Structure 1
Amino acid sequence: MRHLKLLQQVSEIARAGSIRQAAENLNITASAMNRKVHDLEEEIGTPLFERRARGVKLTAAGELFVHYARSQIADADRLSSQVEDLRGMRRGPVNIGCSQALALDFLPSQIGSFRKENPRLVFDVQVMDHNAAINALIDYDVDLALVYRATIRPAVRILKSAPQRLAAILRADHPLAQKQTLRLSDCVSYPLALPHPTLGGRQILDEVIARRDFQFQVMAESNSFEMLRGLVLHGNMISLQIDIGAPREGSGHGLVTRTIDERDLPTSDLVLCQLRGRVLPVAAASFADHLMAAL
């Protein structure tokens, strides 16, 4: 599979936007990489990259070729995974892009339970916003995307969806912790630590606020759910997160989760998806089955 090295080089040039940077990333000389690309362009009969003063940009033909290259690399990885599976060497890796709300509890627990029966498997988890995760799926950078409130494109196939409600995260000694379900109006008198406006749960909240006359005391914002939990614990604030990623009582961190009344906030879907038409590597397909059962 020597041709795969050239395909990987072209893919890396496209990703880096620079032949020199791609050569450094792959630990080869820029002159050798540039020569291989020139030879390939001559063989194809058209330029793949537009050379500029600061790097390169894909031509229309280059975009087609990079998509072909990445699909071939993915197929080779799948073949390698299947061969290893036949030999009892299911190592992976399983490449996943996930929303940050899944990164603290849900996805680590699922990886942990899956590895009990598949201890040789390796995981590569990239935490990113929903749009970046879908882009990574389309670019063959990840096998699976597990994201909340994603904009699904025709190239993406949904394997499983699960409606999610927003929940409030509070300190166990917070006055509102005595209630099992909260109304948004309950939270008006208390300081809030909210997710960044680019995140799906915050977008739902902002849409509701725009329609109703709530005057919240937003004292902090962050794109880190770990930071938001810290603000809840140490600043006695209230934060919001989708229910599946919220902390559970009895976990020893001093936080509790209370659902928001569905009359105040609508549900939105958490989706597990893959690239349409792509046959996943055995390890990724097995873990997808595991996640679908969990969802």
Structure 2
Amino acid sequence: MKHLTSIRYIDTVARIGSIRKAAEVLAITSTALNRRILAIEEELGVPIFERLPRGVRLNSAGEIFVHHIRNQLSDMERVRSQIADLSGIRRGHVSIACSQALLPYFLPQQIAIYRKEHPAVTFGVYLRDRAAAEQALVDHTADLALVFEPVRLAEFQTILTVRQQVYGVMSENHPLANEETLRLRDCLQHPIALPTNPYGVRYLMELALVDSAIVLNPVIESDSFEFLRNHTLTEGVISFQIPIGLPVEDIPKGSVARPIDLRDVPTGLIYIGQLRGRTLPVAVARFADQITKALQIRYE
């Protein structure tokens, strides 16, 4: 399988965009790496990289070639995983692209459960916004995507969707803290703290107000849900998050979370999916089954 070494080298150069930096990662000389690239280009009969003053980038032929070799590498990982399963010891690597809400509670719990039974399986978990998650599947930097309100689903094969109601998060001393359900118009009478535009919660709230004269005017904006949640304890603001990123039983002391009335803000969807048409390695497929069952039990 020596040919796999060369195509891994090409894949690394394509991801990093620099022969010198890729050589450092691969622990070989840049001269040796460049020879590998030239040999493959000679075999193909065309160059696959554009040489730039500060690095390289794939040309059209290179994009086709790299798409092919990433499929090869993915298939080999699947075969290795299947062979490992024959020995009774599950091995492999699971790479996940996910929305921020999945990071603090759900994924750590699920990965710990899985690795307790299969300690030889490793994980990579990467924060990707609504637009970038699907691209991570396409370029094979992720096996699975768990994303709230994705932007597009052209190459996305959906495994499961889970509904999530938007919650208002505030101090227990806030004037609205004793309400069982919050009306959005009441929330907007108080200072609000919102996620920045790329996030699904912000998208749902703006969608809810698209035909209204009301405009969202946050006093605080952040791309960190943890910051927004904690800031509600220091100032009388209301932040907005979804339950999977803020389990009710784990709300910090001094905070409360209340659902926003569905007449005001619709539920959003968490999508769990993979690259369309790809056969997942055994370790990835089994983990996908586990989280699917966990989400169904919790939210359906």
TM-score by length of 1: 0.94
Q: Percent identity?
A: 45
What code does the residue aligned with 1:111 have?
Answer: I
Q: Report the CA distance between 1:112 and its aligned residue.
A: 2.8
- State how far apart, in whole Å, the 2-side matches of 1:232 and 1:247 are: 16
Pair 1:246–1:61, CA change in 2 (3 A): same
Are positions 1:212 and 2:212 aligned together?
Answer: yes
Stretch moving more, 122-131 or 83-92:
83-92
Query: What corresponds to 1:231 in structure 2?
Result: 231
Pair 1:205–1:22, CA change in 2 (3 A): same
Secondary structure of the corresponding residue to residue 233 of structure 1: coil
Q: Report the CA distance between 1:223 and its aligned residue.
A: 0.4
Query: What corresponds to 1:80 in structure 2?
Result: 80
Is the Cα–Cα contact under 8 Å of residues 70 and 140 in structure 2 kept in the other structure?
Answer: yes
Is the Cα–Cα contact under 8 Å of residues 195 and 224 in structure 1 kept in the other structure?
Answer: yes
Q: Report the CA distance between 1:220 and its aligned residue.
A: 0.6
Q: Report the CA distance between 1:294 and its aligned residue.
A: 1.9
What code does the residue aligned with 1:247 have?
Answer: P
Is the Cα–Cα contact under 8 Å of residues 195 and 222 in structure 1 kept in the other structure?
Answer: yes
Pair 1:154–1:219, CA change in 2 (3 A): closer
Pair 1:2–1:102, CA change in 2 (3 A): same
Residues 7-55 of structure 1 show CA distances to partners (whole Å, capped at 9, x for unaligned) of 1111111111221121122221111111111111111111111222222
Query: What corresponds to 1:115 in structure 2?
Result: 115
Are positions 1:171 and 2:171 aligned together?
Answer: yes
Q: Report the CA distance between 1:92 and its aligned residue.
A: 2.9
Instruction: Please list every run of at least 4 consecutive aligned residues from structure 1 whose deviation after the TM superposition is greater than 4 angstroms.
Output: none
What code does the residue aligned with 2:19 have?
Answer: I
Residues 175-199 of structure 1 show CA distances to partners (whole Å, capped at 9, x for unaligned) of 2121111000121232211101111
Is the Cα–Cα contact under 8 Å of residues 249 and 257 in structure 1 kept in the other structure?
Answer: no
Q: Report the CA distance between 1:63 and its aligned residue.
A: 0.7
- Number of aligned residue pairs: give it: 295
- State how far apart, in whole Å, the 2-side matches of 1:15 and 1:190 are: 46
Q: Report the CA distance between 1:268 and its aligned residue.
A: 2.3
What code does the residue aligned with 1:256 have?
Answer: V
Secondary structure of the corresponding residue to residue 147 of structure 1: strand
Pair 1:275–1:74, CA change in 2 (3 A): same
What code does the residue aligned with 2:130 have?
Answer: H
Pair 1:168–1:34, CA change in 2 (3 A): same
Unaligned runs of 5+ in 2: 296-300
Is the Cα–Cα contact under 8 Å of residues 249 and 256 in structure 1 kept in the other structure?
Answer: no
Pair 1:61–1:189, CA change in 2 (3 A): same
Is the Cα–Cα contact under 8 Å of residues 180 and 259 in structure 2 kept in the other structure?
Answer: yes
Alignment of 1:49-88 (within 5 A): 49-88=49-88
- After superposition, the CA RMSD in angstroms is 1.8
Alignment of 1:80-159 (within 5 A): 80-159=80-159
Pair 1:185–1:251, CA change in 2 (3 A): closer
Q: Report the CA distance between 1:86 and its aligned residue.
A: 2.0
Query: What corresponds to 2:298 in structure 1?
Result: none
Query: What corresponds to 2:198 in structure 1?
Result: 198
- State how far apart, in whole Å, the 2-side matches of 1:271 and 1:156 are: 9
Query: What corresponds to 1:245 in structure 2?
Result: 245
Q: Report the CA distance between 1:291 and its aligned residue.
A: 1.4
Is the Cα–Cα contact under 8 Å of residues 206 and 216 in structure 2 kept in the other structure?
Answer: no
Is the Cα–Cα contact under 8 Å of residues 99 and 146 in structure 1 kept in the other structure?
Answer: yes
- State how far apart, in whole Å, the 2-side matches of 1:119 and 1:52 are: 43
Is the Cα–Cα contact under 8 Å of residues 157 and 273 in structure 1 kept in the other structure?
Answer: yes
Secondary structure of the corresponding residue to residue 130 of structure 1: coil
Stretch moving more, 58-67 or 104-113:
104-113
- State how far apart, in whole Å, the 2-side matches of 1:104 and 1:30 are: 40
Pair 1:3–1:131, CA change in 2 (3 A): same
Secondary structure of the corresponding residue to residue 279 of structure 1: coil
Secondary structure of the corresponding residue to residue 83 of structure 2: helix
- State how far apart, in whole Å, the 1-side matches of 2:215 and 2:19 are: 52
Query: What corresponds to 2:43 in structure 1?
Result: 43
- State how far apart, in whole Å, the 1-side matches of 2:287 and 2:213 are: 44
Is the Cα–Cα contact under 8 Å of residues 89 and 118 in structure 2 kept in the other structure?
Answer: no
Is the Cα–Cα contact under 8 Å of residues 7 and 69 in structure 2 kept in the other structure?
Answer: yes
What code does the residue aligned with 1:20 have?
Answer: R
- State how far apart, in whole Å, the 1-side matches of 2:115 and 2:43 are: 45
Is the Cα–Cα contact under 8 Å of residues 130 and 198 in structure 2 kept in the other structure?
Answer: no
